[in-house]
């Protein structure tokens, strides 16, 4: 109890610094990574380009340390302090339902929970699938085929598509709305006019990222139809991925 009280006192004492750090990590590097990740995934509309990009990323030296330092650690810190904020925050949407900022406040916190669940499942589903008996992504000859096959593992492809669509919308909203609050927190936007301009830019950025995200979903789930038996060679325990005729032809172009 004494240790818990000491931690609580330390958090309260350093609240200002921790909130600034939490805000900063949400944009740099977490938000920057999300932007890059969505852009890379959008290349799945052109499977050979997607494979080239994924192979380039996986061939980076010390990739796991780059991921830990610039992705996993910042996301974890941002999420942990975010959960603390979620547990202590209160909304007044019932008392003042007509205020847009109140709705944005509530949605920011709702999408935070959805995004946390989404990230955990997404990492287990793809990046660390080999921990659970799945296929190993780094080094696979066909990342597109393996990712596509992943939409047939464990759940029906339609359910995976719904899950990723919801997670995609939640993550993008949480980022772009957080970008607006970041600009307020750090004194970048001062006044109503400046806030409106940043909101418009953030909304445009969010729409672009959603287009990229749904392009990737369409490529993995819709463009090529249901996963073929050849694709499912990437299921748990398998190694090489055999390209099906549809995207094999695309890769040869």
CATH number of the domain within which 126 lies: 1.20.1300
| Confidence band, pLDDT 50/70/90 cuts, at residue 9 | confident
Does a structural domain hold residue 21? no
Does a structural domain hold residue 177? yes
pLDDT number for residue 221: 81
Q: How far apart are CA 135 and CA 185, in angstroms?
A: 43
Does a structural domain hold residue 170? yes
Domain span including residue 67: 39-90+100-252
Q: How far apart are CA 237 and CA 220, in angstroms?
A: 21
Does a structural domain hold residue 149? yes
Q: What percent of the chain has pLDDT over 70?
A: 82
Q: How far apart are CA 184 and CA 41, in angstroms?
A: 30
pTM, two decimal places: 0.85
Does a structural domain hold residue 32? no
Does a structural domain hold residue 60? yes
For residue 160, with 0-12 CB atoms within 10 Å meaning exposed, 13-18 middle and 19 or more buried, which class applies? buried
Would you say 78 and 20 are in contact if contact means Cβ atoms under 8 Å apart?
Answer: no
Question: Mean pLDDT for the chain?
Answer: 84
What total number of domains does the chain contain?
A: 1
Does a structural domain hold residue 107? yes
Token pair of 95 as six digits: 């008392």
Distance of CA 247 to the CA centre of its chain: 26
Does a structural domain hold residue 191? yes
How many CB atoms are located within 10 Å of the residue 156 CB?
11
Average pLDDT over residues 155-172: 95
Comparing 130-134, 149-153, 168-172, which segment has the lowest mean pLDDT? 130-134
pLDDT number for residue 97: 59
Give strand ranges (E) for the chain. Answer: none
Token pair of 63 as six digits: 């990739």
């Amino acid at each position: 109890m004494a240790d818990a009280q000491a931690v609580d006192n330390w958090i309260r004492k350093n609240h200002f610094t921790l909130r600034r750090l939490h805000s900063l990590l949400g944009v740099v590097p977490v938000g920057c990574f999300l932007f890059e990740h969505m852009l890379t995934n959008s290349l799945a509309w052109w499977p050979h380009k997607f494979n080239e990009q994924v192979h380039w990323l996986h061939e980076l030296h010390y990739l796991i340390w780059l991921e830990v330092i610039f992705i996993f650690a910042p996301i974890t810190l941002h999420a942990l302090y975010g959960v603390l904020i979620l547990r202590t925050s209160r909304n007044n949407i019932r008392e003042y339902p007509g205020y847009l900022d109140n709705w944005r406040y509530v949605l920011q916190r709702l999408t935070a929970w959805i995004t946390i669940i989404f990230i955990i499942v997404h990492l287990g589903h793809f990046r660390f699938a080999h921990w659970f008996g799945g296929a190993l992504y780094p080094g696979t000859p066909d990342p597109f085929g393996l990712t596509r096959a992943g939409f047939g593992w464990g759940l029906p492809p339609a359910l995976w598509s719904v899950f990723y669509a919801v997670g995609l919308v939640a993550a993008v909203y949480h980022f772009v709305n957080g970008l607006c609050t970041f600009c307020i927190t750090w004194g970048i936007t001062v006044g109503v006019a400046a806030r409106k301009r940043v909101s418009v830019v953030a909304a445009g950025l969010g729409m672009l990222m959603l287009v990229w995200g749904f392009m990737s979903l369409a490529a993995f789930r819709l463009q090529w139809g249901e996963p073929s038996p050849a694709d499912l060679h990437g299921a748990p325990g398998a190694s090489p991925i055999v390209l099906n005729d549809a995207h094999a032809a695309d890769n040869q172009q």
